[in-house]
């Protein structure tokens, strides 16, 4: 009987080996089939896992990793005021680098990846500010003068963190192919300034903040690369409209990362911001992501026609909100709610958006509003009432396919807006929802940064600016004092919304 067991074991061995192989491969997880799912990492050398989209959780991991990693190799950031010979030397090196790329790369300067030099700035401009937020963000009682939670505002405008964290991550951990970090200034297309303007504005005392702003300006404008281009190829995050105001004029030629252009001049001065130079970035969403499956599962639950939850009274262009409230309050199928701070307010907003077909997105204090991006990631079709709004990545994305644009004059006409929305067909609504499921990934900041996420689209948009940046940099270097003024391309047509037929 004992000898009869061996043939059975021989038959079982291949089956055991196959089971072991399947078990090993199962650790990588199933491959997501939904292209709108941000967890589907399009990278052939990385395991598939869910990226971190929470700012607080990502920051915690980032700071702990920074403490445990060995010191990084030094780049050639200049730590003292440069001499004229240093400036001349850098200019010669840039000429050699550009010449090599011109003759070696048939697509230069239109090719990707963008080469970005990240300044190695003192910790008081970078890590110290992140630690300040990390150690105090639970103080939810800390509010602005208009009642907004300070730390939530910092999260909404934390684009400076997401971009920097990706740029300085070890190359083995990065997924983006549109941008690469370089460590020598002559190799760079663009220069990234890793200063947290929003955190410093909200968490430092007023005079301390202004002093730090002046130190940043002095430190950056002392760099040879800044002096060579006067900052035209430097990227400065100024995403909260209150931040960095006292010294903006000193860095007005840099590429600013903004929430909008605010043509009213209340927050950004005319001549300091314009589309040819600067870039609009989305707010960080305040609600959880509703993916394609979530949108499908909530379809039957979306019984509210139009939903809005937020501050009902705003200044400047946001005065349209009170007019909309007066017009829409009490209308059948419309839910208008005053926003509240904290997790309770977030849960109420998320629940309302997932139960609604359309989400109202009126202007705030500036033409933009975080409600737009909350609606997009919730699968709720945005109804945008903001006549002066500029949108993120509009050179790449067509917002007509995911949102409705309503002029302010139409929106406040008695009964007009509700009638307009009720007349949109189910087929049109379904197409908008399907497009939302595809587009929502473009508005989800994540760690690691995802292909086709907002960090990726930043560099794709920047690639379109490079030729113009080089043009104005080189032109400014050779124009003599007696010549006519240097063109800055500040002129642009006013952006205004007129309500038209739904275009799909």
Question: How distant, in Å, are the alpha carbons of 52, 240, 332 from that of 137?
Answer: 18, 17, 40
Q: What is the mean pLDDT of residues 16-27?
A: 47
Question: From CA 239, how far away is CA 268, in angstroms rounded?
Answer: 11
pLDDT for 127 beyond 60 = yes
Three-state DSSP class for residue 104? helix
* Least confident interval from 44-53, 148-157, 423-432: 44-53
Question: From CA 340, how far away is CA 149, in angstroms rounded?
Answer: 9
Burial string for 113-149 (b: 16+ CB within 10 Å, else e) reads ebbbbbbebeeebbbebbeebeeebeeeeeeeeeeeb
pLDDT for 308 beyond 50 = yes
Q: What is the mean pLDDT of residues 449-478?
A: 94
Q: What is the mean pLDDT of residues 453-458?
A: 98
197 and 237 Cβ atoms separated by less than 8 Å: yes
**Ordered structural domains, the chain, with CATH:** 64-282+455-478 (no CATH), 292-443 (3.40.50.2000)
pLDDT tens digits, one per residue of 202-239: 999 999 999 999 999 999 999 999 999 999 999 999 99
- What's the chain's Rg over C-alpha atoms? 26
Identify how many contiguous H helices and E strands the chain contains and give both numbers. 17, 11
């Amino acid at each position: 009987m004992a000898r009869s067991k061996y043939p059975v074991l021989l038959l079982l061995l291949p089956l055991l080996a196959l089971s072991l192989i399947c078990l090993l491969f199962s650790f990588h997880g199933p491959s997501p089939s939904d292209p709108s799912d941000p967890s589907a990492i399009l990278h052939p050398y990385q395991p598939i896992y869910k990226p971190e989209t929470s700012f607080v959780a990502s920051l915690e991991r980032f700071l702990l990793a920074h403490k445990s990693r060995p010191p990084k190799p030094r780049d050639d950031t200049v730590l003292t005021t440069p001499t004229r010979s240093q400036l001349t030397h850098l200019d010669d090196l840039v000429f050699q680098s550009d010449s090599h790329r011109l003759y070696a790369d048939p697509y230069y300067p239109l090719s990707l990846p963008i080469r970005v030099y990240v300044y190695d700035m003192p910790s008081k401009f970078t890590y110290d500010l992140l630690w300040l937020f990390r150690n105090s963000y639970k103080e939810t009682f800390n509010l602005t003068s208009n009642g907004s939670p300070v730390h939530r505002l910092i999260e909404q405008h934390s684009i400076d963190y997401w971009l920097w964290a990706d740029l300085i991550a070890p190359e083995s951990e990065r997924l983006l192919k549109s941008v690469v970090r370089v460590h020598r200034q002559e190799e760079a297309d663009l220069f990234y300034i890793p200063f947290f303007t929003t955190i410093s504005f909200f968490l430092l005392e007023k005079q301390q903040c202004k002093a730090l702003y002046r130190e940043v300006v002095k430190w950056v404008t002392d760099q040879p690369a800044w002096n060579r281009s006067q900052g035209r190829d430097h990227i400065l995050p100024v995403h909260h409209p209150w931040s960095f105001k006292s010294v903006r004029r000193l860095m007005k030629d840099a590429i600013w990362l903004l929430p909008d252009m605010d043509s009213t001049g209340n927050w950004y001065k005319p001549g300091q911001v314009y589309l040819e130079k600067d870039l609009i970035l989305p707010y960080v969403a305040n609600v959880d992501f509703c993916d394609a499956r979530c949108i499908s599962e909530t379809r039957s639950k979306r019984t509210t026609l139009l939903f809005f939850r937020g501050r009902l009274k705003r200044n400047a262009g946001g005065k349209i909100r009170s007019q909309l409230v007066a017009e829409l309050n009490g209308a059948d199928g419309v839910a208008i709610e005053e926003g509240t701070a904290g997790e309770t307010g977030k849960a109420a907003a998320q629940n309302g958006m997932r139960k609604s077909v359309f989400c109202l997105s009126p202007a705030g204090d500036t033409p933009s509003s975080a409600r737009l991006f909350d609606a997009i990631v919730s699968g709720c079709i945005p109804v945008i009432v903001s006549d002066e709004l500029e949108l993120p990545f509009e050179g790449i994305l067509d917002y007509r396919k995911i949102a409705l644009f309503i002029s302010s004059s139409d929106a406040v006409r008695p009964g007009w807006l509700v009638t307009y929305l009720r007349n949109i067909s189910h087929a049109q609504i379904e197409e908008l929802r399907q497009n939302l499921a595809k587009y929502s990934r473009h508005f989800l900041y994540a760690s690691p940064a995802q292909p086709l996420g907002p960090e990726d689209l930043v560099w794709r948009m920047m690639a379109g600016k490079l030729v113009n940046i080089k043009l104005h940099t080189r032109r400014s270097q050779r124009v003599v004092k007696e010549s006519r003024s240097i063109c800055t391309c500040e002129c642009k047509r006013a952006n205004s919304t007129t309500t038209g037929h739904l275009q799909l």
